[in-house]
Every structure is written in structure tokens, then in C-alpha cells.
Amino acid sequence: MQADPNPMKRKRKPIKSKNPKKKKTTTKPSGAMAAVAEAKRRKPSKRMLKLFKKRAQNYHSDSDDDDEEEVVEEGRRGEATPSDGNDEDGSADSERGGGSEGDDEGDGEGGHRGGITRFDEGCRAFRVAFSKIMKRKLPNDALGPMLSAHKKLVVEKLVEEEAEHKAKGEAKKEKILALEKGHVKLANFLDAKEKSLIKIATKGVVRLFNEVSKAQISQRGLNPSRTKVAKELAKQRKRTFSPELKKSSTQGHGDHLPFNSSKLSNSVEKENDDELGWAPLRDSYMLTSSKLKDWDKMPDPAASVGQDVFPMESSSSDEE
């Protein structure tokens, strides 16, 4: 690369056409090119060499990470100025020009340290610097790059975050409370109210089981000759249930309404009367019609109770 100046010239040409603006900054456009070429070929002065050595020794790429880029930026100009100060004006101009021209190049090779390193070495140095920058992880500081009042900002930020956390925590707690609304964790399981409820339920079950046992035992006792048995059963059931109904309605608070079995048995009774063979075939058809008989037998309050219960049935059928 050093040996062949032509490629440089070739490189310069198209860029020269691309960026006419930049050229205005340089004082001597056409002359600058030749001067730059000259400058590159010329070895840097001894003073510069010393300076370079010193810098190379002190150079730590990992220190002042935040500042590197800006320093690099500023360095480009800053170093152009000491170099101006160090060298003659002509070379300074050419170097500045060289620096700016170097920047224009696509990769920026040897660009930012135009006055410091030679062009070819500049490539490597830039590559090294660039790769180091890319390797280094930027601190994800929400406050932005290091500013003068950094500490204060940090403190403020921490306070903010804490306040946020507190608010969030409270909001969460409220949310959980709202979710749990109505969900009662049982403190004491068996208190008086629960006991009374269990007693009520137990009474209901006991009644049911008693009814079942009566019905089933009597059923077992009587041997099936269908019509007779069924009639007996029907009568018996009506008899047992009407007092049940009476009892239930005349009892005070906390009584039971006949539950589904009794409701069912009403319908079953009606069905059974039909089931037992076709009604006309029964011996007691029309003569001893059980329904009429029962209406006579049943005392009036029970009848009224029966009336009250039956409308419930009919209303359900109305809805259906």
C-alpha cells in the first residue's frame, strides 16, 4: 500500500466528485491533494514521533470508555490543532485537509487521527479501536452518558424507582384483595350456626330414610299380586304423605317443605293408578274410585294444604 500511490489517487477521485461540499472547507482544493500525498510520503517529524510514542504508551483503550467516542471525535479536531501548533502552517493545513479528506473516505481509514498516524497504520489503529468499541458493552445507563451531575441524577432515579415499587406493591395487594372478595377462609369450622344447619339437614335425611324404610318394608311384606299391592301402596302412600304435608306446613319456622321425593310420589301415584293395568280393567273401576274416596277421607285443612302444594306442581308445568 505504501509503494503504490496510484490506488490512493484512484480512491480519491470518485469521492472528490461525491462530496464537493467538503472540499469547500479546505482552503486549497487542488493543491491539497498533492500536498496530502506529499505529507503522507513524508515521515512525521521527530517531535511528532515522540508525541506518538508517548501516546502509545499511555494509551489504554479500556479506560474512559464513555469518553472514548467523544474523545475520538474531539480528538480528531483537537489533535489536528496541536498538530497545527506543532508543525508549520502549510503542513497543518494539509493535515487538516488530509484529516477531513480522510474522513470522507468510505471506511474512514486513517481518518480520525489523520495528523497522528500514517495512513496505513491508521487503518490498523482504527480497526483495533473500532473492534474494541464493538466488543465493549455499553452501560445501559438510563441516565444517558456520563454527565457532570451524574450522582444527583442517580439518586433521583433510585428514589423514583422505589416509589414506583411501593405503588406497584400496594396496587398488587389491592388487586389480590379484590379477587378474594367474598372468599371466606374458614376460621372456626363448627360453630353454632353450622351445627344448626347440620341438624336441619339431618332431620331431612332422617325423614326421608324413614319414609323409604316404611315404603320398602311394607312393600316387601306384601307379596306382589299387582293390582292389590299397588292399590294398597297407593293408599298407604297417600295416607302417609298427607299427614307429612300437614305437619310440614303447620310446623313453625325451620320446617321442611316436602322435598323432591314427595313431589315425585305425587306424580308416581297418579301414574300408578294408571299403570296398574288399564284403569277400566280394575275391579274397583268407577265403583270405589280411590280419588273420590280419598277426598272424603282427607280432612279439610289437609285438603287445603294439598291445594297449596299442588299449585306449585301446576305452576311448574305451566312454565315447562
Partner 1 sequence: MARFKHNARRNKKWGSAKPPVLKKQPPSVDHVTGSKIPKSFVFARGKLPGPLKQLELDLRKMMLPYTALKLKEKKRNTLKDFLNVAGPMGVTHFLILSNPKSVPHLRVARTPQGPTLTFEIHEYALAADIARSQSRPRCPQDLFKNSPLIVLSGFGAGGQHLKHLELMTIMFQNIFPTIDINTVKLASCQRIVLLNYNSEEKLIDFRHYSVRLQPVGVSRRIRKLVQNHQVPDLRNLQDVSDFVTKAGYGSESEPDEEAATVSLASDLDRVNRASTKSAVRLQEIGPRMSLRLVKIEEGLCSGGVIFTEFG
Which residues in the 213-252 window bind partner 1 by CB under 8 A? 213, 215-217, 219, 233, 248-249
Return the CA Rg of the chain. 54
Least distance between partner 1 and beta carbon 276 (Å): 14
Q: Quick one: 19 or 272, whose CB is closer to partner 1?
A: 272
Least distance between partner 1 and beta carbon 206 (Å): 5
Q: Give the residue, chosen from 8, 208, 222, 303, that forms a contact with partner 1 under the rule CB under 8 A.
A: 208
Q: Which whole-number Å values give the CA distances from 138 to 89, 100, 133, 158, 257, in the listed order?
A: 39, 28, 9, 20, 79
Calpha distance 101→40 (Å, rounded): 13
Q: Quick one: 138 or 212, whose CB is closer to partner 1?
A: 212
Instruction: Give Cβ neighbours of residue 285 (< 8 Å, ≥ 6 apart).
Output: 279
SS3 249: helix
- Other CB atoms closer than 10 Å to residue 123's CB: what's the count? 17
Q: Give the residue, chosen from 5, 90, 169, 204, that forms a contact with partner 1 under the rule CB under 8 A.
A: 204
Q: Quick one: 221 or 299, whose CB is closer to partner 1?
A: 221
- Residue 256 as a binder of partner 1 (CB under 8 A): the answer is yes
Calpha distance 235→246 (Å, rounded): 17
- Residue 186 as a binder of partner 1 (CB under 8 A): the answer is yes
- Residue 198 as a binder of partner 1 (CB under 8 A): the answer is yes
- Residue 304 as a binder of partner 1 (CB under 8 A): the answer is no
What b-and-e string marks burial along 232-250, b requiring 16 or more CB atoms within 10 Å of the CB?
ebbeebbebbbeebbebbe
- Residue 189 as a binder of partner 1 (CB under 8 A): the answer is yes
Q: Report residue 226: phi and psi, to 5°.
A: -55, -50
Q: Which stretch binds partner 1 (CB under 8 A): 10-18, 31-39, 57-65, 261-269?
A: 261-269
> Binding residues for partner 1, per CB under 8 A?
178-186, 189, 194, 197-206, 208-213, 215-217, 219, 233, 248-249, 253-257, 259-261, 263-265, 267-268, 271, 308, 312, 315-316, 319
